[in-house]
Structure 1
């Protein structure tokens, strides 16, 4: 009985403390949205090279690529990297380049051993871009030295002022690397159940108040939108330094911050948007690709995360029902205390998840579904670990990625 009260008390402290934490609250109270001002003026805009890898993205490219090419930003070059697509992506890119002359596209060569597909595609794009003429003919040598890379995903769409706003904030924050977590457009019911828990978990593990604090070692970036100064990118070793990682964006942020690169990360409601998954199977495959990778492929981290997540995030409604039955069957001070603690856990958990729900624009009742969402993600993580160890990696866009042979530590390049 005493042990039960201690466990419930500790779990309640975790949730209540997290809810009251200004570091966690700042994640959702300071989104970076497109501004209505002038942003970075034409005369002071540093040149930007936008690089987006695309594998079998023919369905989304006609929707997203025009948003890159129509930015209210003068010194911009757009490069789409075809990552060995076996659909009609090459044809779609050719057609788009006729409409948008500023669009450049290339196709990667075969991926070398030890590289993940996305990192290889981005690195290939960077190498290709360096051989192209200057972004703008009137760019001074000083401005050319300030070149910024913008990395995004082919399924992300930009607000017309996305780059102007982001570059302005990058300057205001004196940041070398700025990332925005794209706003997720939710369609299928599985997205509405599964994706909010992902954002809530990110907010708990990587609170942006800590990410944006240079004194903290916590780092987070989202591959859907990363601005990084060319000098900082070269300092950290580019994508070659994270070539064996599936979750290359987080690893790049960690490496950058550990090397003194000033990092700034924000949520957004309209700067960058993405519709990540089309249906249940697509969501399962997409989340499974990253789930075990996010645990660094370590069984210890997986099991600790599974058990702790189950106790702290999935079972609170069970605690509340069990303690309610307890006080009805045998009223006692201990029983009432346990019920009060269980109720506090459920309430604080729902209040924290409500921040995510509001940000994503879902009905508020979704806040009480966090245990269901976390349980779903844990099942996906278990599938991810199983596929890694027994299927040679997770399936993604028609190929196995992240198997042990690829993700073993690689020698320095």
Structure 2
């Protein structure tokens, strides 16, 4: 038990150290506005009648940089197009375009983003999901950050709104993985594609560089643009960067556990759920965040070293607390951290081991052939 406790302590130290370094690296990065550069805010939308109105109102309230807002209606069967058309009639900065039929070999979101980019005139293209609410300074900050860093792609994780316990048990893994396991300082120094990372909810690209590398067409079959798109830029020798984005936008990804499980499962195979990666991640995440709690319980019952096990648990919870407070997520979820990580690993193993069907449900009800 003592050996296990020492292992858990060592595995908890890694994300604690990286999270501290990353939070310091992200803090106070200025980002100067680019007043003479148009930012095209691009929104793919498929059956988003419940979201699109507030999303457009927030985007159109952007300050500090000239904007255009383009919505791609991807064959919606609800009132999405009507809502956008009514708002566009009142604001000439807003346009609605229709997405052509989905070509073979493309996933829906990538195709819609490809169509949006072709219609955009901006120096920078800001892709946001239809459930993302930009802060007034969000677009200007991201464009300024890209210029200041010399980066062709800049992204960040919006403040994640979680109103149900199913969301609270799943969504916080985004920031834990990004801030606890990606060395951001090293990412900024090297162009290694493996260090590329983004959040697909909020991605700003330099338009010329985007078109030069093939844009979303280069990842047309992917379900995980947050992983794949920055790697395309880095493979071409271009810099990508991350910024703290909890003050720049908000997003509510899912509304319950069922949606969250399905949503995170759909792109698991392009993330952690690979035969090589998942055993390593199971050791890192399970050993550093799940194991400390049962070790503390065992030590209280007389088996093992309580000080070492308690130190591992304190480090794990402290790391999660620091990330949660810095990203302004729900603080009530901190105590649930071991269960959150255990559920994330269960989801990844389920995605890896479940029988692959002929097709898998993906973006807004579409099905694609299993990879």
TM-score of the superposition, structure 2-length normalised?
0.89
Please name the residue that 2:189 is paired with. Answer: 213
Find the aligned partners of 2:125 and 2:178 in 1 and give their Cα distance.
25
1:14 aligns with 2:11: yes
1:319 aligns with 2:295: yes
Tell me which structure has the larger Cα radius of gyration.
1
Structure 2 CA distance for partners of 1:306 and 1:393, relative to 1, 3 Å: farther
The alignment's C-alpha RMSD in Å is 2.7
Please name the residue that 1:345 is paired with. Answer: 312
Please name the residue that 1:152 is paired with. Answer: 128
Structure 2 CA distance for partners of 1:90 and 1:34, relative to 1, 3 Å: farther
Structure 2 CA distance for partners of 1:310 and 1:168, relative to 1, 3 Å: closer
Find the aligned partners of 1:40 and 1:113 in 2 and give their Cα distance.
40
Aligned length: 370
Please name the residue that 2:80 is paired with. Answer: 89
SS class of match (2:216)? helix
Aligned-residue offset at 1:313: 2.5
Please name the residue that 1:237 is paired with. Answer: 214
Please name the residue that 1:105 is paired with. Answer: 96
Structure 2 CA distance for partners of 1:305 and 1:233, relative to 1, 3 Å: same
Please name the residue that 1:250 is paired with. Answer: 227
Contact 1:34–1:161 (Cα < 8 Å) also in 2 = no
Find the aligned partners of 1:104 and 1:363 in 2 and give their Cα distance.
35
SS class of match (1:84)? coil
Please name the residue that 1:142 is paired with. Answer: none
Structure 2 CA distance for partners of 1:110 and 1:356, relative to 1, 3 Å: same
Contact 1:152–1:224 (Cα < 8 Å) also in 2 = yes
CA displacement, residues 311-368 of structure 1 (integer Å, 9 cap, x when unaligned): 44323211121233235xxxxxxx4xx3332112111101111112213445656333
Aligned-residue offset at 1:77: 1.8
Please name the residue that 2:113 is paired with. Answer: 122
Residue of 245, 261, 282 corresponding to 2:259? 282
Structure 2 CA distance for partners of 1:292 and 1:398, relative to 1, 3 Å: same
Find the aligned partners of 1:153 and 1:379 in 2 and give their Cα distance.
27
Aligned-residue offset at 1:303: 4.7
Please name the residue that 2:201 is paired with. Answer: 224
Structure 2 CA distance for partners of 1:17 and 1:284, relative to 1, 3 Å: closer
Find the aligned partners of 2:41 and 2:203 in 1 and give their Cα distance.
10
Contact 1:291–1:384 (Cα < 8 Å) also in 2 = yes
1:357-376 aligned within 5 A: 357-361=324-328, 364=331, 366-376=333-343
Aligned-residue offset at 1:371: 0.8
Aligned-residue offset at 1:32: 6.9
Find the aligned partners of 1:34 and 1:61 in 2 and give their Cα distance.
30
Residue of 359, 366, 369 corresponding to 1:399? 366
Find the aligned partners of 1:155 and 1:125 in 2 and give their Cα distance.
17
Find the aligned partners of 2:111 and 2:355 in 1 and give their Cα distance.
20
Find the aligned partners of 1:215 and 1:396 in 2 and give their Cα distance.
30
Contact 1:27–1:267 (Cα < 8 Å) also in 2 = no
Find the aligned partners of 2:329 and 2:215 in 1 and give their Cα distance.
37
Please name the residue that 1:261 is paired with. Answer: 238
Residue of 37, 41, 48 corresponding to 1:46? 37
Larger mean Cα displacement after TM superposition, 300-309 or 172-181: 300-309
Contact 1:183–1:267 (Cα < 8 Å) also in 2 = no
Contact 1:33–1:271 (Cα < 8 Å) also in 2 = no
Contact 1:181–1:268 (Cα < 8 Å) also in 2 = yes
Structure 2 gap ranges (5+): none
Please name the residue that 2:178 is paired with. Answer: 202
SS class of match (2:267)? helix
Contact 1:211–1:265 (Cα < 8 Å) also in 2 = no
Please name the residue that 1:25 is paired with. Answer: 20
1:293 aligns with 2:270: yes
Structure 2 CA distance for partners of 1:394 and 1:318, relative to 1, 3 Å: farther
Find the aligned partners of 1:120 and 1:86 in 2 and give their Cα distance.
18
Aligned-residue offset at 1:103: 0.8
Find the aligned partners of 2:89 and 2:26 in 1 and give their Cα distance.
36
Structure 2 CA distance for partners of 1:312 and 1:26, relative to 1, 3 Å: closer
1:64 aligns with 2:55: yes
